[in-house]
Amino acid sequence: MRFGLMLPSYSFADLDYERAGRLRDFAVTAEAMGFECLWVAEHLLTARGLYGTAWLSPLETLAFAAGCTRRIKLATGILIPPIRNPVFMAKEIASLQMLSGGRFELGVGVGWDAHEFAVAGVRLAERGGRTDEILEIFRKLWTGEETTHAGRYYRFERVTIDPPLRRPPPLWVAGGSKLKTALSPDPETIAPTVLERICRRADGWLARAAGSNASVIADWRQITRRLDEVGRDPSSLVFGHLNFAHVVPTDDEARALSVQRPLYERIMGTHRSFEHLQTCYLTGTAARMRERLAELAEAGLQYLVLSPLDYDLDQLHLWEEEILRHYRTA
C-alpha cells in the first residue's frame, strides 16, 4: 500500500502564525519519511453543525508546502471546482505546477455545502455539470493554445493561459457512499454521475471518509463493474481512500477512545454521535485500526491518505510504528 499525508491545515479559532507554521515541519518530515504525497482539504466556510472548523485555502497551502520540499507530490483532496472561476483556477494550478516542478495532482469533488454554493452564486443542483465542464475547460486551457469556449455554464473568448503544461496533472475524483445524517444533502449511495466521472475521467478514485468499510468496498465493486462495462482495465484506476487517525499508545480501547473523542468532535462537530464517527473514521487502538485497514487492503485498496486531527507532529512517527510499516509497499 502507498501512503499520502493530509496536511492538518485546520483553521481553528485559536490558530496563530506559530501553529500554522508547523505545516512546514509536517511537509519536511513527511518527505523524509517516504510519504508519497502531501494532500490538502477544502472547506471554504465553517459549516456550523456539519463541521467544527474550516480549512486553510488549499492551493495557497500547497504552494507553501512546495516551497518547503523538493520531491514529494502535492495534491488537493479535494478541490471543489464549481464554486470557482475556471479560468482563474486553471491559471493558479498551472502556476503551482510550474513552481513545484511538476509535482501537483488534481483531486476534485463536486462539494455539498449549500451555504458555500450560495456565497459563490452557484446553484447546488448545477455542481456536477459545472465540474465536468470545468474539467474540459482545463484540458483546453493547459495546452497554452488560444481558447474560445461556449458551454452550458461558462463562456469566454480568445483566452490563453501561460505557462502551458506539458501534460495535465493526474486526476483524482472523490465521491461515494456515506452514512445517512440529518443535515447533509448528499445521497447515501454513489451517484450515477459521480460513478461515470470516476470511470471515464479519473486516474484515481478517492473514497470518502464519511462511509463505512462496507460502503467503501461496495463502491469499489460497483466501480470495477462499471469499468468493465465501459471497456476500461480496472488496473488503470487507483483505488484510494482518505481517512482520519489519531494513534494513542495504549492497548486499552476505552482509553484510546476517550483521547480521540474530543479531537474528532473539534473537527467533525457534534451533530453525529460518537458511535457514528467510530463507524466512519479510524478510532480505537492501533490494532483496531490495522484490522480495518487490512479489510480494505484485502478488497484492493492501493493508496491511503491519512489526516491527523491536530498540529501534532508526533503522530507521524506513531503512524509509522503502529500502522504504516505493516502495510507499506516495498
Give per-residue pLDDT as tens, 121-156: 999 999 999 999 999 999 999 999 999 999 999 999
Q: Percentage of residues in the chain with pLDDT exceeding 70? A: 97
The rounded distance, in Å, linking the Cα atoms of 214 and 279 is 10
User: What pLDDT, on a 0 to 100 scale, did the predictor assign at position 8?
Assistant: 98
User: What pLDDT, on a 0 to 100 scale, did the predictor assign at position 182?
Assistant: 66
Q: Minimal CA–CA distance to 43: which of 137, 148, 115?
A: 115
Q: For the chain, what are the domain ranges?
A: 2-327
> Look-up: residue for cell 465553517?
46
Q: What is the pLDDT of residues 26-44, one digit of tens each?
A: 999 999 999 999 999 998 8
Q: Can you say whether the dihedral through the CA atoms of 62, 65, 66, 69 is positive or negative?
A: negative
What are the cell numbers at 321?
A: 510504528
How many CB atoms are located within 10 Å of the residue 164 CB?
Answer: 13
User: What pLDDT, on a 0 to 100 scale, did the predictor assign at position 74?
Assistant: 98
User: What are phi and psi for residue 156, nearest 5 degrees?
Assistant: -160, 160
The rounded distance, in Å, linking the Cα atoms of 46 and 266 is 12
Q: Among 116-120, 183-187, 229-233, 254-258, where is mean pLDDT lowest?
A: 183-187
What are the cell numbers at 184?
A: 447533509
Which SS3 state, helix, strand or coil, does residue 314 take?
A: helix
List C-alpha distances in Å: 261 to 28, 253, 283, 307, 328: 28, 12, 9, 15, 27
Q: What is the pLDDT of residues 152-173, one digit of tens each?
A: 999 999 999 999 999 999 999 9
pLDDT band at 90 (very low <50, low <70, confident <90, very high): very high
Angle at the Cα of 248 from the Cα atoms of 243 and 250, rounded to 5 degrees = 135
pTM of the model: 0.96
Q: 255-261: which pairs have CB atoms within 8 A and are 24 or more residues apart?
A: 256/283, 256/284, 256/285, 257/283, 257/284, 260/284, 260/309
The residues pairing with 205 across neighbouring beta strands, listed in sequence order, are: 173, 239
- pLDDT (mean) for 55-84: 97
User: What pLDDT, on a 0 to 100 scale, did the predictor assign at position 184?
Assistant: 64
Q: Residue 47 pLDDT > 80, yes or no?
A: no
CATH class of the structural domain 2-327: alpha beta
The rounded distance, in Å, linking the Cα atoms of 276 and 226 is 30
User: What pLDDT, on a 0 to 100 scale, did the predictor assign at position 322?
Assistant: 97
User: What pLDDT, on a 0 to 100 scale, did the predictor assign at position 183?
Assistant: 64
